[in-house]
A and B are shown apart, each in its own frame.
Chain A
Amino acid sequence: MKFISPEQIVIYFINFVFIFFLVVALKISYLMIKKFDFSKSTSFQYSLEKRNVLVSTIVSFFIFLKVPLLFYFLFYLDSLAPSIPGAMCAVGVLNSTPYGAYLIIVKVAVLFMLVWWFYINKFDLNTYGFKYTKLKYKFLILISFAIFLEFLLEINLFNNISPEKIVSCCGSVFGKDVKYFSSFLFNLNDNLSLLITVVTFLLLAIFFKTKNYVFYGLASLIFLIVAVYSLIDFFSTYIYELPTHRCPFCILQKDYGYIGYVIYFLLLTGTFYGSSLLVLKNILDNTTKISWARNSFFMIFCYLLIVGFYVVKYYMVNGVWLT
């Protein structure tokens, strides 16, 4: 292991704590899947029901810690940027190794899954006979492996950051040359990505009106991906007011009024609620579905308003479109 800075050591320590709790949770999951039987009234069954409390506390603890930790991680990578030649923000650091792009995706996925688990648990406790117990513990095993994977990727990322190798900054990563991050990008034309985003949003609106929640969830998952693409390809250039600056991270910085935090909050929570309608379709009751769909649609709409506002503002001020 290579240690670069104190922040990294703290991140490792926290990961060790996570792993400790994951081992506890995995052991309980195994017992739950093998032994849980609501019809029995043994003291062992009773103790299993008690342990559910422990696991749900652990998961809430994870959620409360993972959110600030994600921002801390990005902050930290940002602070590393000056010591890596060529890197100007977190993207350069992430892109300096093959693991960075996967790590960010896994981190967001883990966060989504943890919150899903939290809601499954909440609805499970309200059912008679805890119908979803086995399902949710199988899901928890999946989540634990995702967190292990995240830790491994993190170690690999830190070990491969090298202060000698020259990397590219965000402007070129999301520009033309293909390396690591950009290998995820289809070479979308600017206007095409905008068109797809608008079409997906219209689909969302139609499904929302017709209350077709399964398709709404599917569409919001697609929207998450498409929105990130269009943010990189189209909207970010208007926020930076620079046609060559395509970066999903720089909007988090002070120069742009920290607007990125608002944008990502709206986008992630909006698509989270939306996609929950698909993932938790058998678990959610109808009233929750309606309110979540409303929340989700509202947030996605606000997201589009904000990013659209920058485009319109640019046109009002300068009188031309960026191409």
Chain B
Amino acid sequence: MTEARQERAPGDRPSREMHASAPSEFLVYTIGLVVAVLLTATSFWTANTTLLWPGGVFLGLAVLAIAQMGIHLVFFLHISSGPESTNNVLALAFGALIVFVVIAGTMWIVADMNINMMMPSGAPMSMQMQQ
């Protein structure tokens, strides 16, 4: 083992050489909690407000959720952009890619199939099933 080696597990404490300049870990968790509570409260407000057009509510909720997931990753799971957690970030990026492909791909394909399942009346299959 060499002293210069810096690797870090997800959710782990910072290494000693980083420790001097880093803010206290208690503070990190507390900041994370406060920001997450603010984002959650904003999400609930967004869902109930009449100020936004319907598409805006959807968009706002999606943005707030992604922001809150990021806050959780940084402040609770301690995923950082530093060289010591490159492996963790790469794994996370691959996971995020697969999640995106699964969700967006499924919705795209099924929406496409729904259009192709037009009934003689002209309404898509899903409309018929609701009646």
**Same assembly:** no
B residues at A contact (CB < 8 Å): none
A residues at B contact (CB < 8 Å): none
